[in-house]
Structure 1
Amino acid sequence: MNAQSHQAAQDRAGPPASDVSAWVGVSGLLALAGYILLARHWPDIAEAFDLPGPRARLSGPYSAFLAMVLTGLVMAAWSIFVDKVHHNPSTGIDWANPRPLRQALDTAATKIAGLWATWALIGFAYCLGRFYWDGQFLFAMEVIGAAALPMFVLSIPYVLWLDRVLVNPRDGAWHFGALLIGREAWDIERVKKHWRAWTIKGFFSAFMISILPPGFAQVVDADFSQVLHNPVYAGNALLSLMFVVDVQIGTVGYLLTMRPLDAHIRSGNPLLAGWVAALLCYPPFVYGFMGDGGLLQYEYNTADWSYWFDGHPAVLWAWAALLVFLTAVYAWATVAFGIRFSNLTYRGVLTNGPYRFTRHPAYLSKNMFWWLSTMPMMVTSHSWVDVIRNTVFMACVSGVYYWRARTEEAHLLAEDAKYREYHAWMQAHGLVTAPLARLLGRAAVRRQPQVQPAE
């Protein structure tokens, strides 16, 4: 087959198959929806079955955490029993040839030492971070503190069981343990890879757990009777629901990084630029960057969309629908990952769902949402200085997300040939990506200097 025929066949076939089944996320979404309905109608259920305890909606922080746990269990069950991901070669597991327990003990002991030391150092970092002991992060510290002892204890049988079937049990945790024990050869690059993965888990897991309760309570306690009559309330209620979907399923992704689920972190982004771009968007770094008084704060003397369109119900309904759509795309981008969502990581290649249209649906929809909800070019002060400042700084924030996207692409392009194939297909055929690529390509051509022919 010549190159043109190969390209034509590829165009007809579409992008490469996704490493994640779309139904994993759908199963989690259905489980989450079921629990939210249960939490909202708990007073009626408790009354009907004469159950002990309060007759109130289950909108508290631990109910929010339980929703995430149940959502994760359903997605994990789907992955194992339906998709059978534990048989994927990418797990690095050979179930058919387990090693003797005595042989596994040798590597497991070193690996457990590395894991325990890693968790202890992450816990020490939590102790040093003052912001972890204030506001919403207190709930995360309560959960992580309660889970610490069971996690340490259960790691022993888990590592022993897994090391018997791993093709190469000497992973990053083993190399870090070997470094600490000082009795075997260890590879510094594997240690770095180990710490990149666990730094990502430690930083983002605490943040994600901390933001579970507020949005969940808003959704469970929302008065949906107003949805059909008040466009602003309807918009905000549905926006809260979309954000709850994103946070609940996204949190599962950070916690279930397990090889039997084929959801392990294969590599953390090794690029410093990628870490800087990502961390600027999260606490505590975001406070000095985009928060009140931050370097790029873009909300001086602004009012949101409901203020500017007040008195125009048709416009309010249309604008609310547009914002809900953008947020739904954002949530869909997380749901599509199933149990593999996390920042700064490579955990397989995702090519279905919204990733069939653009390589970065979450960043694109999120930034469009911010522009349309905040409307930084509209100010209550009637000051052109505020208009210019807010608009420029909002553009800078969007630029940070473009920077994040490029660093993530650089990481994935270096890791996986399938991603390189997906990247090329999207560049040529993606509904959103391809037109932008052609536009940027023409702009690049116009910027090239024209060479005069020699006389």
Structure 2
Amino acid sequence: MYHDPALARTAADPRPKSAVSAGVGVAGLVGMAAWLAFARSKGLDGPFAALVNLAACGVPMLLWAVLVDKVHRNPSTGVDWANPRPLRETRDISLTKLAGLWLTWGGIAAVYAICRFYWTGNFAFAMWCFKVAAPALFLLSVPYVLWIDRHLVQPKDGAWHLGAWLLGSTEPVDDAAIHNHLRSWAVKGFFLAFMLAIVPPGFGAFIRASSEGILTNPVALANWLITGMFMIDVAFATVGYILTFRPLDSHIRSANPYAAGWAFALICYPPFILMGNGGPLDFHPGTAEWSHWLAGQTVLLWIVGTVLVALTAIYAWATLAFGFRFSNLTHRGIITHGPYSWTRHPAYLSKNAFWWISMFPLATTGSLYDAIRATFLLACVSGVYWVRAKTEERHLGADPDYRAYSEWMERNAPIPRFGAWLSGRPHRPGYAGVSIPATAPRSGPAGIPG
């Protein structure tokens, strides 16, 4: 009988369980596909159709997570459904928490009001969404907090500590909890505004794209599919920032506490982006897209187009694998399935590989200086993502679940093992039940692509 060593190793050393099942992402993708087919058939390419696309993605994921995976029963929610406390015991806690929560929201609103770039361009749509949603969120926060605090094992979270500080409570206040609370909401405030800003343009471009002759044109087909993959990525990410709730086990466990992590993440997004047009790390001047360099080479156009589509698909898959838990700079559970069983950084690797292949920085439309400059700057951009990976690794390294996953990856995942072979590091085979010394993770974390 044939003996497969890889299968034997996997059976003896099973991959750590993922915080999200694959079914959640598949459910969201199916719901989105149904709406996209309908929207294209009816020409629904506007911003409100793009918001419906978020619902078509998010609702099936929510239903799968609750009805099939029963995530609300996970111990990590911190919720005890069986023993709710009387409202009189938790009412004061809830009111203090609401004070902290509303102070946080007020601070975010003040930032939006002061930073006027939020009221121009695509950000104007995000601000409109917030203005429409704000009254409902304010009113619904009262019954929600009063209800959930009766079921929480530890209701005094960061919002409560902030509220206690605001109200001058005589009880001890945990500064670390307040800082984590503020960092978590800073992530949501910054990235949700950005995501909502780019949801309509990507959705509209995908819906409006003509299908005439697209199957015979490798460049047109690749660009349309790439647009679709990025639209999927943005939709899943946006839903992830919205559905951050303890009853769904999708709450933020912790936000990255390291300044370098924030700095290197924020420079990848507007208004701080350094890779944009005219930015210090803009590697585009003097370069051209792959379709320019390969014009007239039909076979190469099909090959490179296929590779770029595949890389973008991996990038979108890395976000889809989160279900509704995607979020930059936060820990919301360790993702171990899908592309995260190959490498700890599928999104970072695929994104950077896409840029190197699509831009051909050594081949420029200008001088040798342009080639050197573009190559150097693109290498710097890749270095930015390397630093992001390291700071995220440091953040997640405090979680035993992440350390177990990281060590499993070192033993089993193809890309970490290939990296170990390239660097000359000895491979450390191991199986469940075999004592292997704990080490700090050497790559980046699962579950925090950006």
- Normalised by the length of structure 1, the TM-score is 0.90
User: For the residues of structure 2 that align with 1:420 and 1:441, how far apart are their CA atoms?
Assistant: 22
- The one-letter amino acid of 1:154's match is L
User: For the residues of structure 2 that align with 1:400 and 1:11, how far apart are their CA atoms?
Assistant: 37
User: For the residues of structure 1 that align with 2:344 and 2:12, how far apart are their CA atoms?
Assistant: 19
User: For the residues of structure 1 that align with 2:373 and 2:14, how far apart are their CA atoms?
Assistant: 43
- The one-letter amino acid of 1:28's match is G
Provide the residue aligned with 2:445 in structure 1.
none
Q: What is the Cα deviation at residue 442 of structure 1?
A: 4.4
Alignment deviations for residues 106-136 of structure 1 (CA, whole Å, 9 cap, x no partner)? 1110011111111011000011112111111
Provide the residue aligned with 2:386 in structure 1.
402
Q: How does 1:46-65 map to 2 (within 5 A)?
A: 57-65=43-51
User: For the residues of structure 2 that align with 1:283 and 1:440, how far apart are their CA atoms?
Assistant: 36
Q: How does 1:181-220 map to 2 (within 5 A)?
A: 181-185=167-171, 186-220=173-207
Whether contact under 8 Å (2:226, 2:312) holds in the other structure is yes
User: For the residues of structure 1 that align with 2:415 and 2:286, how far apart are their CA atoms?
Assistant: 33
1:28 aligns with 2:28: yes
Q: What is the Cα deviation at residue 241 of structure 1?
A: 0.5
Whether contact under 8 Å (1:98, 1:164) holds in the other structure is yes
Q: What is the Cα deviation at residue 278 of structure 1?
A: 0.6
- The one-letter amino acid of 1:32's match is M
Q: Which moved more, 1:86-95 or 1:59-68?
A: 59-68
Provide the residue aligned with 1:322 in structure 2.
307
Residue of 369, 373, 385 corresponding to 2:369 = 385
Provide the residue aligned with 1:237 in structure 2.
224
Provide the residue aligned with 1:148 in structure 2.
134
- The one-letter amino acid of 1:401's match is Y
Whether contact under 8 Å (1:15, 1:421) holds in the other structure is no
- The one-letter amino acid of 1:18's match is S
1:293 aligns with 2:278: yes
Provide the residue aligned with 2:434 in structure 1.
none
- The one-letter amino acid of 1:230's match is N
Residue of 406, 425, 428 corresponding to 2:408 = 425
User: For the residues of structure 1 that align with 2:401 and 2:129, how far apart are their CA atoms?
Assistant: 38
Q: Which moved more, 1:104-113 or 1:82-91?
A: 104-113
Q: What is the Cα deviation at residue 441 of structure 1?
A: 4.6
**Counterpart secondary structure, 2:215:** coil
Provide the residue aligned with 1:89 in structure 2.
75
Whether contact under 8 Å (1:11, 1:425) holds in the other structure is no
| Percent of matched pairs sharing the same residue | 53
Alignment deviations for residues 367-413 of structure 1 (CA, whole Å, 9 cap, x no partner)? 000111122111111x1100000001100100100110111111111
User: For the residues of structure 2 that align with 1:79 and 1:307, how far apart are their CA atoms?
Assistant: 45
Whether contact under 8 Å (1:309, 1:316) holds in the other structure is yes
Q: Please list every run of 5 or more consecutive structure 1 residues that lacks an aligned counterpart in the other structure.
A: 1-7, 43-56, 444-455
User: For the residues of structure 2 that align with 1:184 and 1:280, how far apart are their CA atoms?
Assistant: 41
Residue of 120, 123, 132 corresponding to 2:118 = 132
Q: What is the Cα deviation at residue 225 of structure 1?
A: 3.0
RMSD: 1.4
Q: Which moved more, 1:423-432 or 1:143-152?
A: 423-432
Structure 1 stretches of 4+ with a deviation exceeding 3 A read 8-11
Provide the residue aligned with 1:48 in structure 2.
none
Alignment deviations for residues 184-233 of structure 1 (CA, whole Å, 9 cap, x no partner)? 32111110010010000000000001000111011111112322111111
**Counterpart secondary structure, 2:397:** helix
User: For the residues of structure 1 that align with 2:280 and 2:183, how far apart are their CA atoms?
Assistant: 28
Whether contact under 8 Å (1:212, 1:248) holds in the other structure is yes
Q: How does 1:95-174 map to 2 (within 5 A)?
A: 95-174=81-160
**Counterpart secondary structure, 1:184:** coil
Q: Please list every run of 5 or more consecutive structure 2 residues that lacks an aligned counterpart in the other structure.
A: 1-7, 427-450
